[in-house]
Amino acid sequence: MPVFWLKLAVLLYGVASLAVLPAALFDRPRWRHIAIPTAFTALFFHFVALAEMLNAAHHTLPVDRHETQSLLALLLVAAFLIVYASYRTVALGIFILPIAVLLTLGPAFSPSQETILLPHSGWIFLHIALLLAAYAALFLSLLASLLYLIQERRLKSKLPAIRFVAYFETPLDLLDQIATKTLIFGLPCMTAGLLIGSALAEQTIGPSYFLDPKILLAFAMWVAYVAMIFIRRSSGLRGRRAVYLSSFIFLVILTVWAANQLSSVHRFTAP
């Protein structure tokens, strides 16, 4: 049954992905009234599917690849809907909703058969959920920064009001607020996630945990994240430089994510 709910969520995400295009690009309120309720309904079925999937597998955290993908997609869509509720902009949905479709296709149509070992399951769930929330926040910040750069270039170059471009407008101040606030939200999530993971690994593996190059890279990621927030807030960094900085940190996080998939510290699959 959870696979059925997840397939339904994928279908609804696809519908929302199509409906958000005219809503964002051509400012069509009718399509917005389709895209947002459909995305919210998809999120509900997605949550039900993930909860039932974890319950059927007799664990309370996503640790295999498909379950982690599913949770990340859930957090991304939830973040998009929160941004919409706060700022009434659907521009980010052009990117977030198709990504949610891609992330949930695998879990919906090719469920994982891995067996999972669960030390300290409740704390590990919190560790994973907090880090995924931080990744989702950084991704939203990167998207907002990219849209800021596009809008700024269009305004400075004084391009003619082509219909496709003219309706795809979100105020620069609004985009900057979204980029900054999502970054600030992600910092405590990343900090708490790393601290919880460190405490659990130290109890399970011992001090050698902190000698793992992949773990050192994860803490370097946290330092880079803090530095990015400090630079943005202290210098009022916007536009192209903000995009470059966010892109660099996002690349570091992708590197850490890939490295963690090869790290013995982050494997909970039974032999």
The yes-or-no verdict on residue 79 having pLDDT over 80 is: yes
Q: Are residues 172 and 95 in the same domain?
A: no
Percent of the chain with pLDDT over 90: 13
Residue 5 burial by Cβ neighbours in a 10 Å radius (0-12, 13-18, 19+): buried
Q: Is residue 112 part of a domain?
A: no
More confident residue, 70 or 211: 70
Domain that holds residue 34: 1-107
Q: Is residue 7 part of a domain?
A: yes
Q: Are residues 87 and 28 in the same domain?
A: yes
Q: Are residues 49 and 136 in the same domain?
A: no
Of 74, 107, 140, the residue at which a domain comes to its end is: 107
Q: Are residues 173 and 230 in the same domain?
A: yes
Q: Are residues 41 and 153 in the same domain?
A: no
Q: Are residues 146 and 209 in the same domain?
A: yes
Of 62, 77, 107, the residue at which a domain comes to its end is: 107
Q: Is residue 208 part of a domain?
A: yes
| Residue 266 Cα distances to 64, 254, 271, angstroms | 10, 15, 14
The yes-or-no verdict on residue 116 having pLDDT over 50 is: no
List CB contacts of 101: < 8 A, sequence separation 6 or more. Answer: 10, 13, 14, 17
More confident residue, 73 or 267: 73
Q: Is residue 157 part of a domain?
A: yes
Can you tell me the distance from the alpha carbon of 146 to that of 241, in angstroms, rounded to the nearest whole number? 10
The yes-or-no verdict on residue 47 having pLDDT over 70 is: yes
Q: What angle do CA 116, 118, 120 make, to 5 degrees?
A: 165
Q: Are residues 50 and 158 in the same domain?
A: no
More confident residue, 243 or 94: 94
Q: Are residues 124 and 86 in the same domain?
A: no
Q: Are residues 267 and 162 in the same domain?
A: yes
The whole-number pLDDT of residue 240 equals: 65
Q: Is residue 87 part of a domain?
A: yes
Q: Are residues 122 and 224 in the same domain?
A: yes
Can you tell me the distance from the alpha carbon of 188 to that of 81, in angstroms, rounded to the nearest whole number? 21
Q: Is residue 176 part of a domain?
A: yes
Percent of the chain with pLDDT over 70: 66
Q: Are residues 126 and 252 in the same domain?
A: yes
Q: Is residue 255 part of a domain?
A: yes
The whole-number pLDDT of residue 92 equals: 85
Can you tell me the distance from the alpha carbon of 127 to that of 10, in angstroms, rounded to the nearest whole number? 26
Q: Are residues 137 and 263 in the same domain?
A: yes
Give just the sign of the alpha carbon dihedral 229, 250, 258, 136: positive
Q: Is residue 126 part of a domain?
A: yes
Of 107, 136, 171, the residue at which a domain comes to its end is: 107
**Which range, of 44-58, 110-124, 170-184, 202-216, averages the lowest pLDDT?**
110-124
The mean pLDDT value of the chain amounts to 75
The total number of structural domains in the chain stands at 2
